[in-house]
Structure 1
């Protein structure tokens, strides 16, 4: 640096003094953007150490005060017991709470899979013991969040009040922690915040639902017998819907529907619309919600793991790396003998940007397809359940099945929602890999060569093989024309073969060309089969194997057993039958009967009581409805003959048959 113009009185500026007042580190230095570990004001260890005993105390209070004294006085002779997490086989109207709690649990499990400390009480665990702590966490988190859903199933003011306190504590602590530490160094600075978003949303839902139910319970002090039986209104509405008189269907015109109407019908089959008199069971709602959360978590992980890193790679590209890629012919250059310039560097960055676009596009397509398949499966679930409710077993299964619970059916029923979430994760990963490879191939083999005019190797191969492709096309067209005009008789159907000698000659002469056509057809078959199985992998209601070996498909087998258990145990007509039995002699039901008798299905025959003449007509009408539901209930048919053969009309066992 020149020192002209400086007097002797002025201080000498040294090189080391230039940046003495500048901030340390370059703004483009990656080290300046490193996110350090953040310790929230309320640590996770303290949060779990305080909330775990509180949750256990709430569960004990509910068991002692609610279950023993209010709900089930005869259960275990009045001894307390754990409350049920949810009535999975009943329509009790609290599906939102179950979905929220299951969403919190599943999202917590998704977060701990990538966490270095799976258990909050054990920090800085070694790599050897980390897998053991993850197994312990799989048992700890369900027990930790159990009171959140048990407070709702209590159906008591105490339960709603304790649920308010518990949900508010969870929600406030999670919000405080994320506001205190919005960034984390794990994978991406905002990955922890975004991965906890489903947990926070579900906690907000619970924090609003419990106060609402508490206010309703305080206002509504007396409840009728219909309201005490979970889902009694739905069962009656379902029965009324199937007994209503249907208008005769109009004759369908023979004209074929237009392409637009067929397209609308096809798109409508992927949109679930509620139908009058039917509700989706709780297990199906849970499976759909967990699958959507799984898709969100997997898509977020893929984006956070790939996009920031590929952007760092694109920003760090230099001319030296470009020169190396030019030597291998990956990046085209006009003068490969000398050092590449800015044009080659811009081309390389454009290639990396194209990879980023392909990754995001394939992920968006995979998410949309997975969501569409889940909606389509929900429509199929409703169709299958309605068919099984009316006893059309052969319309759902390809071989006759008995709608009875079994050991395998119960195991599959318990794991159905978990299987759906797992299959949705794997299906999204498979779809993303396949679509990413396809989009990258199309971009770098077709789109970029057409745009830049370089690296047109694929077009050169296709151009050199044009006689081969022309021969195949001409052979296929010739065979179709010969089959239409030479080998079939002209006239009204049925048509017969003609010119058989020419048919035999054409078959022999075109055999070598048909072999090549068969190779292309086989490649197309493999591609279509792989694409179909990849797209439908997340659907459990569709078997990816043929009918003979569909039992080897674990997803479809689980779905079939789930349907058997669901239909045999929660048939709406059967539940309506039990509700009508409870209400035969008045709105309060017969003496000594409780709503729990609806589940048991025993002790439902009321004792004989004198009835007035005015109420006999209503009794006869109700008994006729009971008889109808009993005769048309597919879930009771397997047991009807065996039970009736050994009983009398009043429910007492008949004596031994007298021999003549």
Structure 2
């Protein structure tokens, strides 16, 4: 029997072993691991990104070499033996007459490409990294690769030649086609969110799409009009500097139609009040290219950061809410939280609370983005007011006065890094605003709205119920002190308020000292919250210091903004540019054709800027040449007297001159 049992046992074990072994034998060879449920495999494009970037880098290098040869041939042909570089600049920041659309689009494309590096494991497409290697140093190298990649895309616009426009057309079409191809092949990417790559590349595609249309249009226009010296002279005469000086010296008074009438007085006042806080275009003034690029990058950074915050939290919360079952009641019971005796009701309550968290998060994100855009529009108005004040020689209240108006090393570095600082401050400010607003909305929802809606867990109301004597005492103390200060300790004689009942005032001050100390503690907490909220909301603004006025030099962002204005006002002054243009327009020795009486100008008037004041209705208004000449001379002298770029070349006595000619 024992031997039979042993035999049966051996037979059973062998059968079990055979059954387990058959599982591995019957498994098909080369079977890959199954993907977890709900997780999509990564997309495998038909052409690897390394091949795309190799083609783009080669084409960009070729375009750069052709541009260098083109510029050398056009500008440096007489002195080719001097071996001077002929590479065009990608962006001319200090010229007000250049179109701002191309540099803005290129910077938007560059920033969007850098944002797409966040989920990538291979920052450089040419190199692939294993799990053991660290891609950190290579990401720093990628920060130099992408500006070099898009350098020719911006340089083709500054060359100003048909061949450059043709090269820009080919390059922009290649960039745009490859980006559309990659996004069309891999619409879903499971790294952060399945549609994050497509949504984050929308500004990139928008910028490249604009460039792919702008370059062909410029190429067609250059071929049709054959731009040459005549077009340059025409563009010189209609430059921004002359337009600025013409609007400044003409001094057009506001039309009576812009004044509010009796019927629309309220709407006009509301619109004027609204215009006081936002930026509206002003005739005769253009924002510098640096500020336009900074504003565009601020909007792009707000979109990218908001998208990243949205796709990293909201889909996760939705998946958690969809997977809630009755087991959550046991989990909450382990922490001593009993929402209800019914398990299904607990599931519904937890799902409702998670939905509330999701709503609070999205509301905080919308509030943060809206506040960022509103502050951006208001900052543009502040930039314009500061630049106009510096152009007319006024002293701004921007902290301690500058030691010198000349460009310095710190001013140049601040001017170079202004747009980058503004973008970084915007990203960090939006993150801080999102955290603060999310905590505030969540606390408000779970302490006020949710308890009142469900009629349970009234923690805030119970806290107020237990501490109402404390708050009532503080409120009565503040109210009584204000009433006493108005009716007892203040008396009006001969139209001026005077202090009275000093003995009662001292007695009340001594008796209310402990209660005022409690009020001071509450006010201190409110001060900390208000200071934190105010600085968090204005963290992305560089035109506003987050420190007191005596410590503004310690604020790096505000210090950068002051130096940026210093360079812009001294190197891009439109009045100085117009004055230099007038000096270059020397009267020709050839006899001029006779002009009409209303268009006749003497050579002296042309040299003094009279052509800026010649309008079609000049004689119709009865303005004589003497008054126009005097007004032009006075305006030109005023603008040149207060120009920071020319103060270094004048005599010391003139640097202290006032507007009316009086010496200090």
TM-score (norm 2): 0.83
Secondary structure at the counterpart of residue 635 of structure 1: coil
- 63, 68, 73: which one pairs with 1:69? 73
Relative distance call for 1:394 and 1:113 in structure 2 (3 A) is same
**Mapping of residues 199-218 of structure 1, within 5 Å:** 199-218=204-223
1:293 Cα shift? Answer: 1.0
1:270 Cα shift? Answer: 3.7
Mean CA deviation greater in 632-641 or 504-513? 632-641
1:76-122 CA distance string (max 9 Å, x none): 74744211001100023321110111111111111113310000100
1:622 Cα shift? Answer: 2.4
Match of 1:20 in 2: none
- 36, 40, 43: which one pairs with 1:35? 40
User: In structure 1, what is the Cα distance between the partners aligned to 2:347 and 2:602?
Assistant: 88
Aligned partners of 1:332 and 1:454 also within 8 Å: no
Structure 2 residue 520 is the aligned partner of structure 1 residue 518: yes
- 314, 320, 324: which one pairs with 2:321? 314
1:553-596 CA distance string (max 9 Å, x none): 1111111111101111110001111111111325xxxxxxxxxx
User: In structure 1, what is the Cα distance between the partners aligned to 2:249 and 2:427?
Assistant: 42
1:414-433 CA distance string (max 9 Å, x none): 11000000000000000000
Match of 1:603 in 2: none
User: In structure 2, what is the Cα distance between the partners aligned to 1:127 and 1:368?
Assistant: 42
1:42 Cα shift? Answer: 2.9
Aligned partners of 2:542 and 2:557 also within 8 Å: yes
Match of 1:618 in 2: 602
User: In structure 1, what is the Cα distance between the partners aligned to 2:110 and 2:507?
Assistant: 69
User: In structure 1, what is the Cα distance between the partners aligned to 2:132 and 2:417?
Assistant: 30
Secondary structure at the counterpart of residue 193 of structure 1: helix
Aligned-CA RMSD value: 2.7
- 234, 237, 240: which one pairs with 2:243? 237
Relative distance call for 1:361 and 1:529 in structure 2 (3 A) is same
Relative distance call for 1:126 and 1:319 in structure 2 (3 A) is closer
Aligned partners of 1:93 and 1:231 also within 8 Å: no
Aligned partners of 2:418 and 2:564 also within 8 Å: yes
Structure 2 residue 62 is the aligned partner of structure 1 residue 57: yes
1:618 Cα shift? Answer: 3.2
- 518, 528, 531: which one pairs with 2:530? 528
Match of 1:195 in 2: 200
Secondary structure at the counterpart of residue 316 of structure 2: helix
User: In structure 2, what is the Cα distance between the partners aligned to 1:456 and 1:369?
Assistant: 32
Match of 1:569 in 2: 571
Relative distance call for 1:467 and 1:288 in structure 2 (3 A) is same
User: In structure 2, what is the Cα distance between the partners aligned to 1:361 and 1:30?
Assistant: 35
Relative distance call for 1:199 and 1:222 in structure 2 (3 A) is closer
Match of 1:657 in 2: none
Match of 2:18 in 1: none
User: In structure 1, what is the Cα distance between the partners aligned to 2:295 and 2:312?
Assistant: 26
Aligned partners of 1:488 and 1:498 also within 8 Å: yes
Relative distance call for 1:231 and 1:202 in structure 2 (3 A) is farther
1:330 Cα shift? Answer: 4.3
**Mapping of residues 498-517 of structure 1, within 5 Å:** 498-517=500-519
1:341 Cα shift? Answer: 1.7
Match of 2:627 in 1: none
**Mapping of residues 297-308 of structure 1, within 5 Å:** 297-308=304-315
1:344 Cα shift? Answer: 1.0
Mean CA deviation greater in 423-432 or 302-311? 302-311
Relative distance call for 1:551 and 1:75 in structure 2 (3 A) is farther
Mean CA deviation greater in 134-143 or 38-47? 38-47
- 636, 648, 651: which one pairs with 2:645? 636
Relative distance call for 1:375 and 1:127 in structure 2 (3 A) is farther
1:231 Cα shift? Answer: 8.8
Aligned partners of 1:152 and 1:159 also within 8 Å: yes
Q: How many residues align?
A: 584
Mean CA deviation greater in 541-550 or 127-136? 127-136
Alignment gaps of 5+ in structure 2? 1-33, 611-632, 655-664
**Mapping of residues 338-487 of structure 1, within 5 Å:** 340-487=342-489
Structure 2 residue 562 is the aligned partner of structure 1 residue 560: yes
- 290, 296, 311: which one pairs with 1:289? 296
Aligned partners of 2:387 and 2:565 also within 8 Å: yes
Match of 1:3 in 2: none
1:31 Cα shift? Answer: 3.1
Secondary structure at the counterpart of residue 189 of structure 2: coil
Aligned partners of 1:235 and 1:572 also within 8 Å: yes
User: In structure 1, what is the Cα distance between the partners aligned to 2:639 and 2:60?
Assistant: 46
1:407 Cα shift? Answer: 0.6
- 94, 99, 111: which one pairs with 1:89? 94
Secondary structure at the counterpart of residue 62 of structure 1: helix
1:244 Cα shift? Answer: 0.8
1:632 Cα shift? Answer: 2.0
User: In structure 1, what is the Cα distance between the partners aligned to 2:423 and 2:237?
Assistant: 27
User: In structure 1, what is the Cα distance between the partners aligned to 2:236 and 2:462?
Assistant: 70
Relative distance call for 1:330 and 1:150 in structure 2 (3 A) is farther
Mean CA deviation greater in 473-482 or 258-267? 258-267
Alignment gaps of 5+ in structure 1? 1-28, 587-608, 646-660
Aligned partners of 1:367 and 1:428 also within 8 Å: yes
Relative distance call for 1:517 and 1:41 in structure 2 (3 A) is same
Aligned partners of 1:271 and 1:379 also within 8 Å: yes
Secondary structure at the counterpart of residue 242 of structure 1: helix
Relative distance call for 1:125 and 1:107 in structure 2 (3 A) is farther
1:525-551 CA distance string (max 9 Å, x none): 111111110000000000000111111
Secondary structure at the counterpart of residue 134 of structure 2: helix
